[in-house]
Amino acid sequence: MSSPNDEPTVDSDPKAVYILTSLLCMNCIFSLVGNMLVIYTFLRERPLGAPLRTILCHLAITNLMIAGIGEPMVVISGFNLRWVFGEMGRKIEAYTVTASGLMAMSLLAFVSIERYLRVTPGQKFLIRQTTSVRVCTLMWIYNVIYASLPFYGIAAWRGEGIGISNSLSWDTNNKIDVAYVMVMMATGYFIPLAVITFCYNRILHFVKQAVDVYDEVERLGHNIPADGMTMETQLSKTHASTAGPGVSVTGESSLLNAGDQEGPSRGGTSKTGDTVTPEVSVDTTTKKQTSTVKDSSEEPGNRIKAAEKKISNVVAIIIVSFFISWTPYTIVNLLVTFDKADYLASGINATIPAFLAKTSTVWSPIIYCFMNGEVRNANLRTIDHIKRRIRILYFGGRL
């Protein structure tokens, strides 16, 4: 077994290594803070429905494993310009990142399935809390065991790129190792990508259908029902359920809890939501508006189309972030495995895609939590609570 001092110094430009390492260090800090805040908020405030909250909690845990174990080891090695944790440390870092990465990809696909079943009409099956717990448990068992196979002689761990991070040995000629790599690529990239694209595409298709129906109703001169604006309500629910910005097109609180919450929430229903337009108070008994002039932006059609645009943006961000994080890494490794592109297996060419993949630990809390109005408000309440506790700790007083 090699000692840390036996590891060679990287043969790349030290300035480039320091820049990449500094960026990864920032990514690590933001990942740790963001994901710890998400977990604490979910435990304290309990926003969202229980099934979705459970899945996102597991996702935050996988991100913490990468940001708390794998990334610090890479950052320390990067600033030392060589791997400093020895052969066993190399295996631990590679295994942690691989198992957590596979689990994160599985959870992203599971989130999209849960949202698809929850918000699109005509679905006979909904994912309940017990189902989400069981599925997450099975995912952990599969990914933890599958990622551990290199410890038993199937494939192997080794340094990648400039040698400060680790992964599988992609350039293998062994048929069993190649099969192992292919299954990993399928379950860790191609299948999740297909599931995510399909589910969010169907959600977006439903929203566009709703807008088309609304436009047709307006064209024919029919009135929209005054008792609830059914289509706006459904679009608001759909938008909130995509786990994007919590926009309520009707000016009411987020409808994510409606039909999604299983049991009382400690944080309660959000009292305020991000509204597309200023609210117009309406007396439901007299149908009399408090404002005598109605802004054109407050028309139901404009609010629905604004919600559709928001949903489209969220879906685009989800898919684009997935591509940015994982596609370069996947393509490089496939080329190394099947085309024997040795120039991609070492140096900066292999390090940059690996570092991009690690940015997924920041993308996930931003997209699935901080861009959701209800979770964002719960996070703000948690931050206020933490600040009060800090003031008490240092200055005394009451909560």
Instruction: Give the model confidence (pLDDT) of 16-50 as tens digits.
Output: 889 999 999 999 999 999 999 999 999 888 887 88
**Same domain for 87 and 119:** yes
Is residue 76's pLDDT more than 80? yes
Q: How many CA atoms lie within 13 A of 270 on its CB side?
A: 31
Listed residues 247, 281, 307: the one ending a domain: 307
E-strand spans in 205-280? 247-248, 274-275
pLDDT score at 31:
94
Residue 214 falls within a domain, yes or no? yes
**Same domain for 157 and 65:** yes
Long-range contacts of 287-290 (CB under 8 A, 24+ apart): 287/226
Is residue 379's pLDDT more than 90? no
pLDDT score at 336:
83
How does residue 246 score in pLDDT terms, banded at 50, 70 and 90? very low
Residue 312 falls within a domain, yes or no? no
Is residue 248's pLDDT more than 50? no
pLDDT higher for 26 or 264?
26
Domain extent, residue 38, equals: 4-202+317-395
**Same domain for 41 and 147:** yes
pLDDT mean over 281-293: 43
**Same domain for 122 and 105:** yes
pLDDT higher for 10 or 240?
10
Share of the chain above pLDDT 70, in %: 70
Residue 61 falls within a domain, yes or no? yes
**Same domain for 120 and 191:** yes
Listed residues 281, 307, 333: the one ending a domain: 307
Are residues 169 and 94 in contact, defined by beta-carbon separation less than 8 angstroms?
no
**Same domain for 336 and 235:** no
Q: At what angle do helices 86-119 and 71-80 cross, to 10 degrees?
A: 140
**Same domain for 198 and 220:** no
* Domain count for the chain: 2
pLDDT mean over 179-183: 93
Residue 195 falls within a domain, yes or no? yes
**Same domain for 381 and 244:** no
Listed residues 307, 340, 374: the one ending a domain: 307
pLDDT score at 251:
35
**Same domain for 83 and 228:** no
Max mean pLDDT range (70-74, 331-335, 340-344): 70-74
**Same domain for 232 and 174:** no
Residue 12's region, left for phi above 0, alpha for psi from -120 to 50, else beta, is beta
Beta bridge partners of 247: 274
pLDDT score at 58:
94
Residue 65 falls within a domain, yes or no? yes
**CATH number (domain holding residue 73):** 1.20.1070.10
Residue 303 falls within a domain, yes or no? yes
Is residue 254's pLDDT more than 50? no
Residue 134 falls within a domain, yes or no? yes
How does residue 210 score in pLDDT terms, banded at 50, 70 and 90? confident
Residue 332 falls within a domain, yes or no? yes
Max mean pLDDT range (186-195, 250-259, 301-310): 186-195
Lowest mean pLDDT among 167-181, 236-250, 374-388: 236-250
Q: What is the pTM of this model?
A: 0.78
pLDDT mean over 356-375: 84
Is residue 173's pLDDT more than 80? yes
**Same domain for 188 and 265:** no
Cα–Cα distance for residue pair 145/125, rounded to 1 Å: 29
pLDDT score at 391:
82
**Same domain for 163 and 225:** no
pLDDT higher for 216 or 106?
106
**Considering the chain, what is the average pLDDT of its residues?**
77
- Residue 167's H or E segment, with its range, is strand 165-168
Is residue 249's pLDDT more than 90? no
